[in-house]
Amino acid sequence: MRNDQKLLFDEPGPRGRRRIKIATIVGVIAVIAAIALAVRQFADHGELAADRWQPFSEWPIWRYLLTGLWATVRAAAATAVLGGAFGLLLALGRLSRRRVLRYLAGAYVEIFRTVPALLLIYVTLFALPHYGLNFSLFWKLVLPLVVSNSAAFAEIFRAGIRALDRGQSEAGLAVGLRPWQVMRLVVLPQAVLRLAPTLVSQLVGLLKDTSLGFVVSYTELLYSGQVLSSFTHLLIQTFMMVALLYLAVNASLSKFARVLQARGGRLFGRRRATTLGTRYRRWFPNGEV
Amino acid sequence: MNALTGHLSELGHGVVTTVELTVVTTIAALLIGMIIAILRISPVPMLRGIGTVYVEVLQNLPLLALLVLFVFALPQIGITFPLFTSAAIVIACYEGAYMAEAIRAGINTVAVGQAEAARAIGLTFSQSLRHVILPQALRAVIQPIGNICIALLMNTSLAAAVGVVELTQAANNVNLIEAQPIEVFTGAGIAYMLMALIIGFTTGRLERKLAIVR
């Protein structure tokens, strides 16, 4: 447990320990009761029978689901690369010195931050073919996601660039770099390093967004589950497996984001970049700065 | 504009459903979020574990997968609700995890001295939470909670994928009849933007009224 949370209560005494014990027992009983209830519901409707679960020990079924997962990963990767690049451009546009660029990028971000991705998907599904723009299923899913996620990426990048100490870009300008050189050589490398955990978290959101392939009938993981269950009629079993796969991938990504957070954006090398603050703290341990 | 004005009642019903779904789930998600956040900082390790598992599971599953599981798969084990209720339950539980994280972030912003002072005058865990920590924590996270509300508004559109006729679905239905996609989808998009604007405006005012300036 972290220290900031420990402040809310004392080291428990005898009575406190007894209360904690009682609360733990109540919690355990509640969890067991919930599980028992779920198992009974399954059993009452014959969903616990071995033949309802046995197919999931066979490779072809898993191969089908894993193919779906691979399609999910591909769609997510395409969205991340395109959306991230476009988002970065939008963020630079919003911070540009040209007013036209600022307004255009700002309008784009404000509009697409508040329009649901599903609505954009309906546009590529039903509106664009009307005007002769008929993409493949993959792009029908990825394009709307790029449009909506680039707005989110733009906000992340903008916040990261603005959060960086002004002194950095001032120093860059002072040694004679041009503004775009300052951005490319000084500001962006530091901002991206600090943003690494946030960007990875955004990846989780993006991977979840690809489940909209269900609507497009692009065979990513969720739609694969749908197709599979329409053959096997094992609805709940299939969707539970699909959920488990999503959980495995996303939980490891979230974990990765936390590791990055703890290591200041770096995976290798120095555990944490020494900042001016930590150096001062080392020089003046008693806080006489 | 004929495509829009000719189907005002359908689109109006869609807007009303979206607003209803948003309001109901926001309130429920706030309650769930509060409970989970308190569980996650409680002195009982077991309860902290339950809170952590809840947040981890619901933040890492796609909302659409949860909706599909709840609406299409749970009837197989005899759990059925009306469509609107199912969608509301799932969205509330899903957004509750995000609310919990926002509230917990707020609790972490409350100055350490506040918690120490509360303990020093002998308040118990729940008393210090109720009278000292939470009032300050919630004021600090009005803006993030507003952002979650806007995300929630956009996520209500996913209910369309399992058959709830809210604004997105209504727009789609009108487009299928009228074949005027630009007008219809732009109209729906503007309606969403207006609703998001109202949420943003309200949270902005709330924040100016309630936030503690340090």
pLDDT in tens, B113-146: 888 888 889 888 888 889 999 999 998 899 999 9
Q: Which pLDDT value is given to residue A76?
A: 96
A229 contacts in B (CB within 8 Å)?
73
Q: DSSP label at A10?
A: P
CA distance linking residue A124 with residue A129, whole number of Å: 7
CA distance linking residue B178 with residue A266, whole number of Å: 54
Q: Could you list the pLDDT tens digit for every one of the 289 residues in chain A?
A: 444 455 566 677 788 888 889 989 999 999 999 999 999 988 888 888 888 888 888 888 899 999 999 999 999 999 999 999 999 999 999 988 899 999 999 999 999 988 999 999 999 998 888 888 888 999 999 999 999 999 999 999 999 998 888 899 999 999 999 988 999 999 999 999 889 989 999 999 999 999 999 999 999 999 999 999 988 888 889 999 999 999 999 999 999 998 888 887 777 765 555 555 555 555 555 554 4
Rounded to 5°, angle at Cα B17 from B15 and B19: 70
Q: Which pLDDT value is given to residue A3?
A: 46
Q: Which pLDDT value is given to residue A1?
A: 43
Q: Which pLDDT value is given to residue B181?
A: 84
> B172 CB near a chain A CB, below 8 Å?
yes
Residue carrying structure tokens 């329009």: A115
How many other C-beta atoms are found inside a 10 Å radius of the C-beta of residue A280? 12
Q: Which pLDDT value is given to residue B80?
A: 87
Q: Which pLDDT value is given to residue B156?
A: 95
What phi and psi, each to the nearest 5 degrees, are found at residue B182? -60, -55
Q: Which pLDDT value is given to residue A15?
A: 83
A20 contacts in B (CB within 8 Å)?
43-45
> B123 CB near a chain A CB, below 8 Å?
no
Cβ B60–A222 below 8 Å, yes or no? no
A243 contacts in B (CB within 8 Å)?
61, 65-66, 69
Could you tell me if B181 and A126 are in contact, meaning their C-beta atoms sit under 8 angstroms apart?
yes
* Cα of B210 to nearest chain A Cα, Å: 24
Candidates B45, B56, B128; nearest CB to A8 = B128
